[in-house]
């Protein structure tokens, strides 16, 4: 099985890696030199990557990379902000949305045929109670509510999830609603158009969300840790059968596991050891988990969480299949 990994060059990584999972062995196939490709998505035979690849105009950009044959950058567009950290395609794949952590903004790009220049930059404002992490807006993720044109933007800096309605024709965003939270919302995942879950990086919690007509409400909040400690919650994933939810803990070095109950609330079932600093992970179809451990490399965990393999790569922060 082929997959791609973003590794931070500022931490000794090679950039964008193409890898293969051969039963219980992780094999590096190829590396493309990009500066700090922190987030990736795969669309057909293309990979889109955030990057800080070139000084000046493209110091913070999105790259379109062909994976037919040897990987190569075929298009690049500036985001209009800095520290791009998440990418999300529109439901019809005609537009691409980028979350910019550093400037607290969202960039909108047409991608029909090829990645084009940014056509809209939506900038957030505000702050939160944390003295250093919430002095201003920090958009960490953008994600559509399934089956809708509502785009949710997790803003760690303002403690809010802002919801926008995206035009089917132009891709442009119009503000629709705001959910005020606490703890630094980082990433969310949806089960369907009525139910979602968000993890909070600063408070190390996960919250159950209800969605109705593009408006979100909070229903339940649980810790991602067995006890209070230095940690930052990171990635969140929902099992394909929607019976389990997973959240990675950087610091505790674990993946927290929650059973999804009949009423869609959560029960903390336990923790799996996931290395040193698990930044991102993906759930494979066979139940195993690939983990991007920022301090150690790419880990393969079994269905029961047991360590199977480690491919050492510094700065591994994102995996896409």
Written as tens digits, the pLDDT of the chain (321 aa) is 999 999 999 999 999 999 999 989 999 999 999 999 999 999 988 999 999 876 666 689 999 999 999 999 999 999 999 999 999 999 999 999 999 999 999 999 999 889 999 999 999 999 999 999 999 999 999 999 999 999 999 999 999 999 999 999 999 999 999 999 999 999 999 999 999 999 999 999 999 999 999 999 999 999 999 999 999 999 999 999 999 999 999 999 999 999 999 999 999 999 999 999 999 999 999 999 999 999 999 999 999 999 999 999 999 999 999
- Asked if 73 and 63 count as a contact pair (C-beta separation under 8 A), the reply is yes
Q: pLDDT for 237-278, tens place per residue?
A: 999 999 999 999 999 999 999 999 999 999 999 999 999 999
DSSP 3-state of 85 = strand
Predicted local distance difference test score (pLDDT) of residue 79: 96
Measure the CA–CA gap between 141 and 82, rounded to whole angstroms.
14
User: How many Å separate Cα 75 from the centre of its chain?
Assistant: 22
- Asked if 121 and 98 count as a contact pair (C-beta separation under 8 A), the reply is no
DSSP 3-state of 249 = strand
Predicted local distance difference test score (pLDDT) of residue 59: 80
Strands 266-273 and 244-250: unpaired
Predicted local distance difference test score (pLDDT) of residue 58: 67
Predicted local distance difference test score (pLDDT) of residue 54: 63
pTM over the 0.85 mark: yes
């Amino acid at each position: 099985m082929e997959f791609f990994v973003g590794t931070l060059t500022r931490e000794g990584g090679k950039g964008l890696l193409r890898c293969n999972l051969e039963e219980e062995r992780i094999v590096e196939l190829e590396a493309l030199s990009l500066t700090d490709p922190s987030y990736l998505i795969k669309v057909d035979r293309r990979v889109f990557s955030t990057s800080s690849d070139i000084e000046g105009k493209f110091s913070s950009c999105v790259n379109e990379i062909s994976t037919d044959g040897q990987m190569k950058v075929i298009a690049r567009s500036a985001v209009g902000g800095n520290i791009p950290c998440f990418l999300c395609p529109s439901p019809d794949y005609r537009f691409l949305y980028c979350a910019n952590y550093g400037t607290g903004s969202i960039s909108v790009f047409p991608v029909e045929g090829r990645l084009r220049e940014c056509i809209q930059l939506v900038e957030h404002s505000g702050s939160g109670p944390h003295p250093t992490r919430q002095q201003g807006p920090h958009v960490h993720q953008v994600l559509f509510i399934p089956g809708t044109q509502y785009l949710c933007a997790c803003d760690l800096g303002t403690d809010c999830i802002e919801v926008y309605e995206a035009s089917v024709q132009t891709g442009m965003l119009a503000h629709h609603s705001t959910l005020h939270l606490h703890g630094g919302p980082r990433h969310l995942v949806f089960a369907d158009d009525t139910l979602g879950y968000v993890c909070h990086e600063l408070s190390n919690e996960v919250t159950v969300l209800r969605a109705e007509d593009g408006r979100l409400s909070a229903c339940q909040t649980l810790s991602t840790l067995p006890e209070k400690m230095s940690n930052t919650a990171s990635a969140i994933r929902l099992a394909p059968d929607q019976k389990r939810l997973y959240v990675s803990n950087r610091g505790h070095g674990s993946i927290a596991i929650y059973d999804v109950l009949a009423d869609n609330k959560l029960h903390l079932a336990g923790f799996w050891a996931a290395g040193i600093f698990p930044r991102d992970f993906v759930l494979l179809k066979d139940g195993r988990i690939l983990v991007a451990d920022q301090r150690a490399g790419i880990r393969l965990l079994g269905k029961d969480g047991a360590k199977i393999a480690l491919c050492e790569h510094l700065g591994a922060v994102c995996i896409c299949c």
